[in-house]
Amino acid sequence: MNLGTLFDRAVRQHKDKIAIIDGAHQVTFAELGRHANRVASALRKLGIEKGERAALLMPNCRQAVEIDAGLFKSGVVKVPLNARLSTRELQAMIADSGACLIFVHADLADLLLKDQKLPATVKHVVIVEGERAPHLSYEAFLATGSGDPASSDVAPEDLYGLFYTSGTSGVLKAGMLTHKNWIALTRVHLLRTGCDGTGKTNYAYVAPITHAAGGTIMANLLLGYRNTLFRKFNPGEFLQAVEKQRITHVLLIPVMIHMMLETPEIKTCDLSSLRTITYGTSPISPDRIRQALQAFGPVLIQGYGQTESCGFLSSLGKEEHALLADPAKAHLITSVGQPDFQCEVRVVDASGQDVPAGQIGEIIVRGDNVMKGYWNAPDLTQDTIRDGWLHTRDMGRLDEDGYLYLVDRKSDMIITGGFNVYPAEVENVLYQHPAVYEAAVVSVPDPKWGEAIKAAVVLKPGATATAEELIEFCRQSLAHFKAPKSIDFLKELPKSAVGKVLRRVVREPYWEKSNRRIG
């Protein structure tokens, strides 16, 4: 079984239903199937074989979905690129992947084609929704293909895509995810979100489908659901779309939830159609969660995972979010839930032995969701996947009920005066202060302690707080050595292309003139 066979079955079963809504365009499953077949056929006409790589630099659009399907039907490996990255980063990913073809939307073409020399491996460039000589337009590309059924001999262990991640280290690496991994994601997505087969599921995509959202859109198609694409996120306009289009499900990053809670439409739009809001990638304060529950109802699910684990490890369900009102159970909101179905999770010490409940160790995972390895990086693969277990480099603890609590990245741990401090623990306290919108905790050089703790804080609009006030607030909940020694107030925090706060960028200026650097 592979993604192509499952996709063809979905097309047969749901051929007259709407699969994709892209602005004014509505695409049925039958139309999507024909376009995917044309993509697969046109790839063969260009001489692109199973196992070769094709890069995509695309917004959320119907063409991105049909190209994706055409690639996995033909066995060509997808290399999704994020438009928020720099030209230098994009060029490096294309060169590293050895992509021979690039699909690029006309609005994004300058990122790759303006005064830039493409890597030597690139033989073809296809321009979507526009033309740019001497490259092939998408319409001309499709015209060379056939809409007849197309497939290749693709095995479950064959590659579906190369997914580049720098994590928080800045090191370029690509997780090799297979058809088997993506089918596992489909099963978990169904169980996580509570989508049903009534035909009423309308899943909205405002986050880039080049990243985590892209995993669930294909899962939705395999299950016959409708998918509504948004090319940009405007909080007020999205809330109006929820009302007008009766959106039932959406995947968001926390900053999007923040923005919606602060827009006037949150009080005027009918949001009763929403059944599930899945969020993840960065912290969100309990106060914000309370506001979101009040605004949207009991629809929140938190997901935790990594690119290397196909985006899932554990989830905190709607039931646990509802317990926020119960003082005896409210602590569960600080967890990332329990391991997902078909996913084994352990917390281990440096020697690989399980640590007792409540103790901190490294989170490791095993299951059908674990990547095949890192592209062109056998040593890194061997160091990351040991005896079938993916070592996440995330530190955490499991309680006696099996709830997983994230502590921090191994590499972000601060050693101050001989004590270990995990930044996320301090950030979680700062997020509980009513004036704090965002926070990043990093180490700075200290002549006495080696490293001292500094917090970079963004205040909520109109809110005020002093450094002394926030430091004292932390000391009320933390050991004094864990509380920040100093605080800088910023207008915004640097973030990755997927919205994660980049602590290393926050930290770098403080270490520029130091003889010792913290990695």
pLDDT, tens only, 382-424: 999 999 999 998 889 999 999 999 876 767 778 787 677 888 8
DSSP 84: T
Which pLDDT band holds residue 143 (cuts at 50, 70, 90)? very high
Task: Summarize the confidence of residues 68-90 as an average pLDDT.
Answer: 90
Of 327, 191, 318, 304, which is closest to residue 254 (Cα–Cα)? 304
Work out the average pLDDT over 129-142.
Answer: 95
Q: Residue 209: which of 219, 222, 199 has the closest Cα?
A: 219
The whole-model pTM stands at 0.82
pLDDT of amino acid 413: 77
The answer to whether residue 504 scores a pLDDT higher than 60 is yes
Specify which residues 202 forms β-bridges with. 226
Confidence of residue 114 (pLDDT cuts 50, 70, 90): confident
Which residue type sits at 252? L
Q: How far apart are CA 316 and CA 245, in angstroms?
A: 27
**pLDDT exceeding 70 applies to what percent of the chain?**
94
Could you tell me which of 394, 228, 422 has the C-alpha nearest to residue 304? 394
Mean pLDDT throughout 207-229?
A: 84
Q: Tell me the pLDDT of the chain averaged across its residues.
A: 89
pLDDT(519) > 50: no
CB within 8 Å of 198: residues ≥ 6 apart? none
Given the structure tokens 């530190």, which residue do they identify?
Answer: 395
Interacting residues of 18 by C-beta distance below 8 A, sequence separation 6+: 26, 27, 28, 226
Residue 109, token pair as written in the block: 């073409």
